């Protein structure tokens, strides 16, 4: 008999098809309220990086054995509640690191050189009226990374090839040559570009607030590929509108898929739909890893990628 699996997130077909082939899949919501009696037999829960897996949902699932997350981030999962019941949680680290770091550089270059606005300029025929305004140089600029975990480190490696001067902040210094700041304010005051690759969760909520944006200043650019919750979106919209910040590029938002309406009106912000890890190759690798975790669990074997033990880690495990 195929084990019962509850799927509470929208997943790519290349994963859903495999889940349906190997398991008895129930489609449900984050509340689990609609499941009724079917909840009693759910042995695995499939979520994504944005899913909220609350204690209340876990309480509805008495036979739950494992939670598998399609994504590296799992800040929406109540890991402590799961742990208390001995339910392991797995995620998909490493396989998406390159894509997210590539995309961070794409956004950084894209906003600094105003690629999206320049594209519109050409399409709308404005070029005939004169040249496009000058943009901001990237090579050799100062880069601050908020959260020097796997993804932050991969961003730093890429930025090194652009001769950028790299600094970072996080809970503790790491054995690297980049300059460390314990305070995000001090980091922001010292750099031209601030890239957020930090985990979400209560510890990092609105870490990037109005005062950090002011420290970054009118020549500064913010990029976020971590979690939307890390940036105070209303404060960011205000800083951009008042030109207290040069620009921002965001792949993640506080209330996805909704975007703060003021941001939509500004041309000094580049907006993308949480797509940093969304390449065919990486989504296949993430699906492989998620399926491998499920398979290992039901075969009684060690899990390939359980989440790390320290769940208070605010900025370093992504």
- Residues with a catalytic annotation lie at 227, 256, 274
Which one of 27-35, 43-51, 128-136, 172-180 is the stretch in contact with ligand 8YV (CB under 6 A)?
A: 43-51
Which alpha helices (DSSP H) does the chain contain, by range?
13-22, 55-59, 79-84, 97-112, 115-123, 150-160, 184-190, 210-216, 233-241, 261-264, 280-298
Which one of 33-41, 64-72, 109-117, 296-304 is the stretch in contact with ligand 8YV (CB under 6 A)?
A: 64-72
* Chain Cα centroid distance, residue 273: 11
CB-wise, 47 or 216, nearer to ligand 8YV? 47
- The C-alpha atoms of residue 17 and residue 209 are separated, in whole angstroms, by 41
* Cβ–Cβ under 8 Å, residues 275 and 250: no
- The C-alpha atoms of residue 148 and residue 157 are separated, in whole angstroms, by 11
Residue from the set 44, 53, 79, 96 that interacts with ligand 8YV by CB under 6 A: 96
Residue from the set 229, 277, 315, 316 that interacts with ligand 8YV by CB under 6 A: 277
- Largest Cα–Cα distance of the chain, in whole Å? 69
* Cβ–Cβ under 8 Å, residues 221 and 194: yes
Q: How far is the CB of 164 from ligand 8YV (least distance, A)?
A: 24
Q: How far is the CB of 73 from ligand 8YV (least distance, A)?
A: 3
Residue from the set 43, 260, 274, 297 that interacts with ligand 8YV by CB under 6 A: 274
Q: How far is the CB of 20 from ligand 8YV (least distance, A)?
A: 18
Is residue 198 near ligand 8YV by the rule CB under 6 A? no
Q: How far is the CB of 283 from ligand 8YV (least distance, A)?
A: 8
CB-wise, 41 or 94, nearer to ligand 8YV? 94
Q: Counting beta carbons within 10 angstroms of the beta carbon of residue 107, is it exposed (0 to 12), middle (13 to 18) or buried (19 or more)?
A: buried
CB-wise, 33 or 275, nearer to ligand 8YV? 275
Q: How far is the CB of 174 from ligand 8YV (least distance, A)?
A: 21
| b/e map 158-185, b = 16+ CB within 10 Å | bbeeeebbbbbbbeeeeeeebbebeebe
x-or-dash pattern for ligand 8YV, window 225-264, by CB under 6 A? Answer: ----------------------------------------
The token duo for 67 is 């939670």
Is residue 181 near ligand 8YV by the rule CB under 6 A? no
Is residue 32 near ligand 8YV by the rule CB under 6 A? no
Q: Which residue has the tokens 């941001």?
A: 263
Residue from the set 28, 32, 49, 144 that interacts with ligand 8YV by CB under 6 A: 49
CB-wise, 64 or 96, nearer to ligand 8YV? 96
Is residue 70 near ligand 8YV by the rule CB under 6 A? yes
Task: Give the three-state DSSP class for 100.
Answer: helix
Q: How far is CA 281 from CA 66, 92, 96, 278, 284, in A?
A: 26, 14, 9, 8, 5
Query: By rule CB under 6 A, what count of residues binds ligand 8YV?
Result: 10
Which one of 66-74, 161-169, 186-194, 253-261 is the stretch in contact with ligand 8YV (CB under 6 A)?
A: 66-74
Question: Is the four-CA dihedral 38, 256, 277, 17 of positive or negative sign?
Answer: positive
Is residue 7 near ligand 8YV by the rule CB under 6 A? no
DSSP type of residue 231: B
* Cβ–Cβ under 8 Å, residues 129 and 121: no
Is residue 71 near ligand 8YV by the rule CB under 6 A? yes
Question: Which residue ranges make up the site for ligand 8YV (CB under 6 A)?
Answer: 48-50, 70-73, 96, 274, 277
């Amino acid at each position: 008999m195929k084990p019962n699996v509850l799927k509470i997130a929208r997943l790519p077909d290349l994963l859903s098809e495999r889940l349906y082939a190997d398991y008895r899949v129930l489609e449900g919501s984050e509340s689990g309220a609609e499941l009724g009696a079917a909840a009693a037999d759910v042995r695995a829960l499939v979520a994504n990086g944005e899913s909220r897996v609350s204690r209340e949902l876990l309480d509805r699932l008495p036979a739950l054995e494992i939670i598998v997350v399609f994504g590296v981030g799992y800040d929406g999962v109540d890991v402590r509640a799961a742990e208390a019941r001995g339910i392991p949680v797995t995620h998909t680290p490493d396989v998406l690191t390159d894509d997210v770091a590539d995309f961070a550089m794409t956004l950084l270059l894209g906003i600094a050189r105003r690629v999206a606005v320049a594209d519109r300029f050409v399409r709308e025929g404005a070029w005939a009226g004169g040249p496009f305004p000058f943009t901001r140089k990237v090579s050799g600029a100062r880069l601050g990374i908020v959260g020097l975990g796997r993804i932050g480190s991969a961003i730093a490696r890429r930025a090194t090839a652009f001769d950028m001067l790299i600094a970072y902040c996080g809970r503790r210094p790491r054995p690297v040559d980049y300059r460390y700041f314990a305070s995000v304010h001090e980091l922001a005051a010292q750099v031209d570009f601030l890239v957020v690759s930090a985990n979400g969760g209560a510890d990092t909520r609105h870490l990037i607030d109005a005062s950090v944006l002011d420290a970054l200043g009118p020549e500064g650019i913010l990029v976020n590929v971590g979690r939307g919750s890390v940036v105070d979106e209303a404060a960011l919209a205000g800083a951009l509108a008042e030109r207290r910040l040069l620009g921002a590029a965001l792949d993640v938002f506080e209330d996805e898929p909704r975007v703060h309406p003021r941001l939509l009106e500004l041309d000094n912000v580049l907006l993308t739909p949480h797509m940093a890890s969304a390449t065919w190759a990486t989504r296949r690798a993430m699906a492989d890893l998620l399926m491998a975790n499920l398979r290992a669990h039901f075969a009684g074997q060690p899990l390939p990628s359980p989440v790390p033990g320290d769940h208070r880690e605010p900025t370093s495990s992504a």
